[in-house]
């Protein structure tokens, strides 16, 4: 029997994961539901999959992505508890809500259901995501199927649930700070006389290539930084200014601030 995949929520993150899943699975086996139906319909038209209601996804799909913000999860699951409880067969819930533990998802869903908890990021929409995950009650076969479905989204890494909030604050929140950095680099290029479009292209490709070099070389970022800094050169002067302005401390503080907020959201 063909397995069906459902999405409850089609926002930025749900849409990114749906795009990846539709590359690995038959889009006709994918069903989308959203509070604003027009959003689900637009995404379904793009991907060649189907739209339906929340209740239908909860009642029929084998793998159900819970793609809503943490503060909306209770409102989403409360009306579906009876539908989930009445299902005769097995199904897996997949949550991407920051701060909400597997236990909390099961509590809100009304049962000790198998759960995969993922922390994806928006680059998953272009196949370059970093997705951490942990599971409860999931079989080895179900985990293998999940990894196959998610492979087009990027890198996946299994982590203990105790570490998943910290992981999400590096790779889940991190893109926003990288976009700030790219924008600032481009602004600097414009200040030096580059056309805006060129400055943005150069900055973005530089970040892409630098990240690839870290991953593929296995070298410490500090060693790679040293290799760019010629004695008496221009790069080390820029490094000096960034150190004076507290760049590293500011970035660390940003991760910690995001982590504290994530923990706070999980207490609700």
CA dist., res. 267 & res. 246, Å (int): 32
Q: Evaluate if residue 2 carries a pLDDT over 70.
A: no
Per-residue pLDDT at 268 exceeds 70? no
Q: What is the pLDDT of residues 212-242, one digit of tens each?
A: 999 999 999 999 999 999 999 999 999 999 9
| Collapsed DSSP state (helix, strand, coil) of residue 166 | helix
Name which residue leads in pLDDT, 168 or 267.
168
3-class state of residue 119 by DSSP: strand
Give the SS3 label for residue 99: coil
Q: Which helix (H) or strand (E) holds 63?
A: strand 63-66
Q: Is the pLDDT assigned to residue 161 strictly greater than 50?
A: yes
Looking at residue 267, what is its pLDDT? Answer: 73
Neighbouring residues of 28: CB distance < 8 A, sequence distance ≥ 6: 48, 49, 50
Q: Give Cα separations from 156 to 133, 149, 167, 173 (angstroms).
A: 7, 11, 12, 16
**Kind plus residue range of the DSSP H or E element containing 82:** helix 81-85
User: Under 8 Å CB-to-CB from 192, ≥6 apart: which residues?
Assistant: none
- pLDDT given at position 1: 45
Tokens of 180: 């700030």
Mean pLDDT, the chain, rounded, equals 95
Q: What tens digit of pLDDT does each residue of 121-152 get? A: 989 989 999 999 999 999 999 999 999 999 99
What is the dotted CATH code of the domain comprising 5-164?
3.40.50.720
Segments making up each domain of the chain, as ranges: 5-164, 174-265
pLDDT average, residue stretch 42-63: 96
CATH match for 174-265 among 3.40.50.720, 3.40.630.30, 1.10.3730.10, 3.40.50.980: 1.10.3730.10
Task: Please report which confidence band the pLDDT of residue 32 belongs to, taking 50, 70 and 90 as the band edges.
Answer: very high
CA distances from 67 to 38, 93, 161, 235 (A): 16, 11, 19, 43
């Amino acid at each position: 029997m063909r397995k069906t995949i459902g999405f409850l929520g089609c926002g930025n993150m749900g849409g990114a994961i749906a795009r990846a899943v539709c590359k690995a699975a038959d889009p006709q086996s994918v069903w989308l539901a959203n509070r604003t139906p027009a959003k689900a319909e637009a995404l379904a038209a793009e991907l060649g999959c189907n739209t339906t209601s929340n209740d239908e996804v909860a009642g029929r799909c084998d793998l159900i992505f819970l793609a809503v913000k943490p503060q909306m999860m209770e409102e989403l699951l409360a009306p579906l508890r009876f539908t989930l409880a009445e299902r005769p067969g097995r199904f897996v819930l997949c949550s991407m809500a920051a701060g909400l533990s597997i236990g909390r998802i099961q509590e809100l869903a009304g049962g000790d259901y198998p759960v995969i908890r993922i922390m994806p990021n928006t680059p998953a929409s272009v196949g370059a995501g970093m997705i951490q995950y942990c599971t409860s009650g999931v079989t080895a076969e179900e985990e293998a199927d999940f990894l196959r479905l998610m492979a087009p989204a990027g890198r996946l890494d299994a982590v203990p649930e105790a570490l998943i909030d910290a992981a999400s604050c590096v790779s889940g929140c991190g893109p926003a700070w990288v976009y700030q950095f790219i924008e600032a680099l481009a602004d600097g290029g414009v200040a030096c006389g580059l056309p805006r479009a060129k400055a943005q292209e150069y900055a973005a490709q530089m970040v892409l290539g630098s990240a690839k070099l870290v991953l593929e070389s296995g070298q410490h970022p500090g060693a790679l930084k040293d290799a760019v800094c010629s004695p008496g050169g221009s790069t080390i002067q820029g490094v000096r200014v960034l150190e004076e302005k507290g760049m590293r401390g500011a970035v660390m503080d940003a991760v910690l601030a995001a982590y504290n907020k994530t923990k706070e959201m999980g207490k609700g």
